[in-house]
Amino acid sequence: MSYAYLFKYIIIGDTGVGKSCLLLQFTDKRFQPVHDLTIGVEFGARMITIDNKPIKLQIWDTAGQESFRSITRSYYRGAAGALLVYDITRRETFNHLASWLEDARQHANANMTVMLIGNKCDLSHRRAVSYEEGEQFAKEHGLVFMEASAKTAQNVEEAFIKTAGTIYKKIQDGVFDVSNESYGIKVGYAVPNASGGGAGSSSQGGGCCG
Amino acid sequence: MDSRSINLRGFAGNAGKNIMQGIGGFVFGNERSESKEDSYVERFLDRISNGTISDDRRSAMTELQSLVAESRSAQMSFGAMGFPVLLNVLKEDREDVELVRGALETFVSALTPIETSQGPKTEVQPASVNSDLLSRETENISLLLSLLSEEDFYVRYYTIQLLTALLTNSLKRLQEAILLIPRGITVLMDMLMDREVIRNEALLLLTYLTRDAEEIQKIVVFEGVFEKIFSIIREEGYSDGGVVVQMLLKETIGFDPLIAILKIRRGSAFNFTQQKTVNLLGALDTVELLLMGGGSSGEPGKDANKTTNQTALAQKNILDHLLLLGVESQWAPVALRCMALRCIGNLVLRNPQNLDSLASKQVGEDPHVQPALSAIFSIILRTSLAQEFVAADYVFKCFCEKNPGGQALLASTIAPHPNQAHATFGATTDMPFGSILLQALVSSDDNGDMEACCRASSVLSHIIKDNLQCKDRVLQIQLETPAPSLGRTEPLLHRIVTCLSIAASAEGENGQSGQPEESYIQPVILRLLIVWLVDCANAVDCLLESAVHLNYIIELASSKRYSACVRGLAAVVLGACVLYNASREKGRDAFAVADAISQKIGLSTYFLRFDELRKRFAHSSSGQQNRKQLSRSSANSMSDFQEIEEEEINKGDQHPVLSEIFDSHFVSFLSKLETDIRDNIMDIFSRTKTATAIIPAELEQKNGEVDGEYIKRLKSFVEKQCNEMQKPSSGRERVQIESLRQELEGATRRIEALRAEHTQIEAEASNQRNLAAKLESDLKSLSDAYNSLEQANFRLDSEVKALRQGGSAPYPDVEAIKAEAKEEAEKESEAELNDLLVCLGQEQSKVEKLSTRLAELGEDVDTLLQGIGDDTALPDDDDDEDEDDE
């Protein structure tokens, strides 16, 4: 399948917040209540459409455990977008957000789009972090915010697609040099007349081997 | 400075040192030599660490490096003391590029094993101890990775080398360390975009680094390693890329993923989406690359590589996948099927094991199982696409090349099928390969369409090529004549000539209807005849059994109705009939054929056919290149494959089948044959017809023979021949001889004229050259004379000066002497000058005269006189002045 752009995402956040479940829900539209611990990094992909253009999302699901942090860091630079996930029922996962952001600031490219996700919003009876707190944190750090549930699929599509929309807009605004693939954006072969903006994006036709 | 003044012995106190000394003492035993190296190393380290003069620190580094590179004990001492010092240099002295380079180079040397002949084999290599020591601290690796972003090329280069050295000794530790460093892999990946030398080193490094390390593999994939590798392959020019591409494919990507791509499930919904087709084509492209050995064959290294790859790929059962794609997936895009077939050919080519496995392979599902080769042959007969025919034919070509056993196997089944008469075309799965082949060979539909015959001919020519047994075997096949009432049989060879004539007549009709494309049917059948006749006297004899055949082929070679290709190939068939003719029977021997050629075609016209054919070759080889490029681009492009296919076929006027026949092997084979034929025919004529037994070589001008003599000799030769020829006086011979004589005379006249012209031109040129040389030497002596004159003048002048300075008082008559001397000198020089002027005048007129003459002759006078001009300048100037004086 051809695409106009390929975006590389990473999903980060503490262990057990439901990163792998979010990915599974988004790529396979199913929920798996018991999920093995992610070792290192896993990977998934899905096509979406933005502005009538096919866009491929390549999503790298990282391990939340501290012992894998260094491995995870290797993925920051090459990612165009990141979903930073916490668990609304576990306060400590929210408290760690700052350290995750610090990591991202240090290793990611400056233009990486970060989306904050408060996961497990179906468990509102066990809520430990309010919506407002999440919203407030996002505002302070310039993130897009959303509460979602990997179990009910609520807001899962929206989270990924909204992030993609933000990246797409950045491309249109010429923020990225899309010819440099190290920013996690790749121009596909079926480039439909790159309307305005995107610097040098049209000259790449036929260049990919995927 | 304080930070740099490190107490070396202080470091010796740490654990590393103790371990090292322990090992060192154990290993080397010889305390004295160790302590000597020890003290040198220590001294150098001290200079590097505590030195204040940059140059001295640098030179200490250089000396340390060469010491460590040479001696194991120095490596050991360096390991014990040197690491902190040099690591400090890498950290603190970044601006001193030369020192950093030296430090890195020293590390590389300390980690490179030194082979020694003495000592027990179990001995610990200081290099591996050092490597262990260096990789122990993640911080060190981090430091090294940071050096990869340095400006200086050598710093990056040595760093990569150092990392590779670490990797060979301490793979696991380095893998762990690199994973712990944020962006560790990323930095290495960036090196793939560096200059070529570093890029290649980085490729090797990454290749080792990713071995058995899943997390690292994932990161490199995330960083787009495949895209980068493919872009390198593109940069390196695919198959021309040689070693780098080979390494990339084999080491980095590996065979397994490649084959995984090729696996398609039988019976599954074969859904060849564009993307899937592109992927499969890419994979097949890569397989072909591996099988072609990264370039043309012939180089021993590449051939070995090719064989290794053939075997390795075969072990992974690639043949099954290729057969499924190329033979059994009739709904797959044709470009894909063709590519798979080509890969099958390349997989088995000259590889005994793979040839065997192709020969014994069965395809299809019960109950329709059939041998793979039969199935491929069915494709040849069935396909409506020339491209697919060519690809399937290529499998047979590869199968038969240098494979007499395989050829015999195929040939052994060629026999008329008992039910031949009843078998309908198509229900052939139960028939043996040979019977299908034979049936196709002799079949022709009512419209005289010889397509099937042509395709079968092509396969048959592979089967009998270079294989005398097979040629003889096929020669013995007898077929019922088309009109069975006569109750006779005819050999297969005769039937094929008949087919050729049917094809020709069908062709003629098509030609009139203005078909633009040149047919390949006759050329393919003619190729079969050529391959068959070569080296096979029996086949020649069989062909000449009927005079009709000879006449027919002569007609093919002479009539303007046929294309240059057909005429040329027919001429080759005739030549083969002469060359490989062992018959003594009158009317069928070599002379009879040669005679028929000269009589009905004329020798010069006959040989002209070869030239025309050669021109076709040049044409078709360029056509072939075209095709290759197109198939290359088709792997990348997303356009409709059907379109590509048509484009390929219509590219130029060259039919793909024709370019396939005239591959480089066949072309060189024909060229060799042509030379032999020429020699042989000339030989036959001279031997049989002239009693004097003048061989053609005598028609050439002898070495040192004067033209006149040569012409005379030629004339007498011709006259003699004339006389000889008039004796037997058979009418047609006389006509032939007459034409020969005319040709000869014409040639002689032309040679004579050309030679005369040539001699005249040459004489004139040498004349001019001599004149020019003389002129030059004249001018030279003139300028010499002038120079000496000037010197004399100068001498006199200085004498005068000296005399003047000497004072007039003691020699009152000095003025008079001077005047006298001057007068005398002037007189002398005037006389000399006059002579010179006369000379010069003469020369000038000569030059003018010559120049005009030269110009008339078309010589570039200016260029000729260029060198001389420099010499003439001086006297000319002088000349003018003198004239003024007068």
Residue B880: pLDDT band (50, 70, 90) is very low
Facing residues of B313 across strands?
A: none
Predicted local confidence at residue B517, as pLDDT: 58
Torsion of CA B544, B546, B550, B556, to 10 degrees: -130
Residue whose entry in the numeric block shows the structure tokens 């439909």:
A192
Facing residues of A43 across strands?
A: A60
Residue contact B183–A73, C-beta within 8 A: yes
* Mean of all residue pLDDT scores within chain B: 77
Question: Which of B226-240, B667-681, B812-826 is modeled with the greatest confidence?
Answer: B667-681
A107 in contact with chain B, both atoms CB, cutoff 8 A: yes
Digit-coded pLDDT (tens) for B659-676? 777 788 888 888 888 888
Task: Evaluate if residue B654 carries a pLDDT over 70.
Answer: no
Predicted local confidence at residue B646, as pLDDT: 41
- In this prediction, residues B707-726 reach a mean pLDDT of 76
Residue B726: pLDDT band (50, 70, 90) is low
Report helix, strand or coil for B264.
coil
- In this prediction, residues B597-611 reach a mean pLDDT of 86
Digit-coded pLDDT (tens) for A77-98? 889 999 999 999 999 999 999 9
A contacts of B219 (beta carbons < 8 Å): 41, 71, 74-75
- Residue A34 sits at φ, ψ, to 5 deg, of -105, 115
Are B67 and B74 in contact, with CB atoms under 8 Å apart? yes
Residue of B223, B231, B276, B279 to mutate when probing chain A, most A C-beta within 10 A: B223
Share of chain B above pLDDT 90, in %: 13
B contacts of A207 (beta carbons < 8 Å): 231
- Domain limits, chain B: 33-113+125-181, 536-623+656-691
> Which of A6-15, B468-477, B636-645, B748-757 is least confident?
B636-645
- Residue B513 sits at φ, ψ, to 5 deg, of -75, 5
Q: What is the DSSP letter of A43?
A: E
Residue contact A41–B218, C-beta within 8 A: yes
Strands B370-371 and B362-363: antiparallel
A189 in contact with chain B, both atoms CB, cutoff 8 A: yes
> Which of B43-52, B272-281, B314-323 is least confident?
B272-281
Residue type for position B547: A
CB neighbour list of residue B852: distance below 8 Å, 6 or more residues apart: none
CB pairs under 8 A between A and B: 66
Closest CA to B262 of B186, B309, B329: B329
Predicted local confidence at residue B684, as pLDDT: 82
B214 in contact with chain A, both atoms CB, cutoff 8 A: yes
B387 to chain A, minimum CA–CA distance in Å? 25
Facing residues of B479 across strands?
A: B490
Decide which of B298 and B377 is more confident.
B377
Decide which of B141 and B299 is more confident.
B141
> Which of B132-146, B254-268, B811-825 is least confident?
B254-268
B726 in contact with chain A, both atoms CB, cutoff 8 A: no
Residue contact A70–B224, C-beta within 8 A: no
Residue contact A186–B183, C-beta within 8 A: no
The CA distance from B886 to B884, in Å, is 5
A125 to chain B, minimum CA–CA distance in Å? 38
- In this prediction, residues A181-188 reach a mean pLDDT of 77
Predicted local confidence at residue B28, as pLDDT: 45
B222 to chain A, minimum CA–CA distance in Å? 7
Strands A41-50 and A53-62: antiparallel
Predicted local confidence at residue B643, as pLDDT: 40
A contacts of B274 (beta carbons < 8 Å): 2
Residue whose entry in the numeric block shows the structure tokens 């290359």:
B632
Share of chain B above pLDDT 70, in %: 74
Residue contact B218–A2, C-beta within 8 A: no
- In this prediction, residues B339-360 reach a mean pLDDT of 92
H-state helical runs in B513-602 = 521-533, 537-544, 547-558, 564-579, 590-600
Residue contact B636–A206, C-beta within 8 A: yes
Task: Evaluate if residue B152 carries a pLDDT over 70.
Answer: yes
Task: Evaluate if residue A119 carries a pLDDT over 90.
Answer: yes
Residue contact B636–A77, C-beta within 8 A: no
Facing residues of A113 across strands?
A: A81
Nearest CA in chain B to A8: B222
* Mean of all residue pLDDT scores within chain A: 83
B contacts of A76 (beta carbons < 8 Å): 182-183
The CA distance from B99 to B155, in Å, is 10
Nearest CA in chain B to A74: B183
Predicted local confidence at residue A210, as pLDDT: 35
User: Does B536-623+656-691 match B33-113+125-181 at the fold level?
Assistant: yes
B227 in contact with chain A, both atoms CB, cutoff 8 A: yes
A33 to chain B, minimum CA–CA distance in Å? 26
**Burial profile A120-151: b = 16 or more Cβ within 10 angstroms, e = fewer:** bbbeeeeeebeeeebbebbeebebbbbbbbbb
The CA distance from B58 to B61, in Å, is 5
Residue contact B183–A106, C-beta within 8 A: no
Helix B547-558 and helix B492-512, axial crossing angle in degrees, nearest 10:
30
Residue contact A75–B219, C-beta within 8 A: yes
A1 to chain B, minimum CA–CA distance in Å? 6
Residue contact B219–A74, C-beta within 8 A: yes
Predicted local confidence at residue B356, as pLDDT: 92
B contacts of A181 (beta carbons < 8 Å): 224, 227
Share of chain A above pLDDT 70, in %: 87
A106 in contact with chain B, both atoms CB, cutoff 8 A: yes
B2 in contact with chain A, both atoms CB, cutoff 8 A: no
The CA distance from B392 to B340, in Å, is 10
Residue contact B185–A74, C-beta within 8 A: yes
Residues within 8 A of B (CB atoms), A 45-84 only: 60, 70-71, 73-78
Q: Which CATH number fits domain B33-113+125-181: 1.25.10.10, 1.10.287.130, 3.30.70.20, 1.10.760.10?
A: 1.25.10.10
B349 to chain A, minimum CA–CA distance in Å? 29
Residues within 8 A of B (CB atoms), A 114-173 only: none
Are B193 and B212 in contact, with CB atoms under 8 Å apart? no
User: Both tokens of residue B795?
Assistant: 């001498």
- In this prediction, residues B141-154 reach a mean pLDDT of 90
Is the Cα dihedral B845, B848, B851, B856 positive or negative? negative
Digit-coded pLDDT (tens) for B72-87? 888 888 888 889 999 9
Predicted local confidence at residue A84, as pLDDT: 95
Task: Evaluate if residue B393 carries a pLDDT over 90.
Answer: yes
Is the Cα dihedral B651, B652, B658, B662 positive or negative? negative
Please, what are the domains in chain A?
3-185 (3.40.50.300)
CB count, 10 Å around CB of B369?
11
Residue A64: pLDDT band (50, 70, 90) is confident
Task: Evaluate if residue A144 carries a pLDDT over 50.
Answer: yes
Tell me, what's the ipTM? 0.71
B271 in contact with chain A, both atoms CB, cutoff 8 A: no
A32 in contact with chain B, both atoms CB, cutoff 8 A: no
Residue whose entry in the numeric block shows the structure tokens 């006298």:
B820
Nearest CA in chain B to A104: B182
Helix B138-147 and helix B126-136, axial crossing angle in degrees, nearest 10:
90
Predicted local confidence at residue B120, as pLDDT: 55
Task: Evaluate if residue A181 carries a pLDDT over 80.
Answer: no
Closest Cβ–Cβ partner in A8, A189, A210 for B638 = A189
Question: Which of B156-160, B418-422, B636-640 is modeled with the greatest confidence?
Answer: B156-160
B242 to chain A, minimum CA–CA distance in Å? 20
B103 to chain A, minimum CA–CA distance in Å? 29
User: Both tokens of residue A42?
Assistant: 């896993």
Predicted local confidence at residue B671, as pLDDT: 86
Residue type for position B313: L
Predicted local confidence at residue B846, as pLDDT: 83
Strand ranges inside A64-153, DSSP E: 81-87, 113-119, 144-147
Task: Evaluate if residue B303 carries a pLDDT over 80.
Answer: no
Task: Evaluate if residue A141 carries a pLDDT over 90.
Answer: yes
CB count, 10 Å around CB of A13?
25
Residue B715: pLDDT band (50, 70, 90) is confident
Residue contact B218–A43, C-beta within 8 A: yes
> Which of A129-143, B172-186, B647-661, B787-801 is least confident?
B647-661
Distance, CA of B850 to chain centre = 52
Question: Using DSSP, how many helices (H) and how many strands (E) does chain B show?
Answer: 41, 4
A206 in contact with chain B, both atoms CB, cutoff 8 A: yes
Decide which of B615 and B62 is more confident.
B62
Closest CA to A172 of A202, A204, A194, A147: A194
- Residue A188 sits at φ, ψ, to 5 deg, of -85, 180
The CA distance from A14 to A11, in Å, is 10
- In this prediction, residues B243-250 reach a mean pLDDT of 58
Report helix, strand or coil for B655.
coil
The CA distance from B695 to B734, in Å, is 20
- In this prediction, residues B424-446 reach a mean pLDDT of 71
CA angle at A171 for the pair A136 and B149, rounded to the nearest 5°: 90
Q: Which CATH number fits domain B536-623+656-691: 3.40.50.720, 3.10.20.600, 1.25.10.10, 1.10.10.10?
A: 1.25.10.10
Nearest CA in chain B to A7: B222
B contacts of A2 (beta carbons < 8 Å): 274-275, 638
Cis peptide before B484 (omega within 30 of 0): no
Residue type for position A106: Q
CB neighbour list of residue B56: distance below 8 Å, 6 or more residues apart: B47
B45 to chain A, minimum CA–CA distance in Å? 35
Closest CA to B226 of B269, B173, B302, B282: B282
CB neighbour list of residue B17: distance below 8 Å, 6 or more residues apart: B11, B80, B81
Predicted local confidence at residue A130, as pLDDT: 94
The CA distance from B756 to B733, in Å, is 34
Facing residues of A55 across strands?
A: A5, A48
Residue B851: pLDDT band (50, 70, 90) is confident
**Burial profile B219-239: b = 16 or more Cβ within 10 angstroms, e = fewer:** bbbbbbbbbbbbbbbeebebb
Closest Cβ–Cβ partner in A40, A73, A107 for B218 = A40
A contacts of B638 (beta carbons < 8 Å): 2, 189-190, 206
User: Both tokens of residue A114?
Assistant: 């970060």
Decide which of B310 and B814 is more confident.
B310
Residue B628: pLDDT band (50, 70, 90) is very low
Provide the whole-model pTM. 0.52
Residue of B186, B231, B286 to mutate when probing chain A, most A C-beta within 10 A: B186
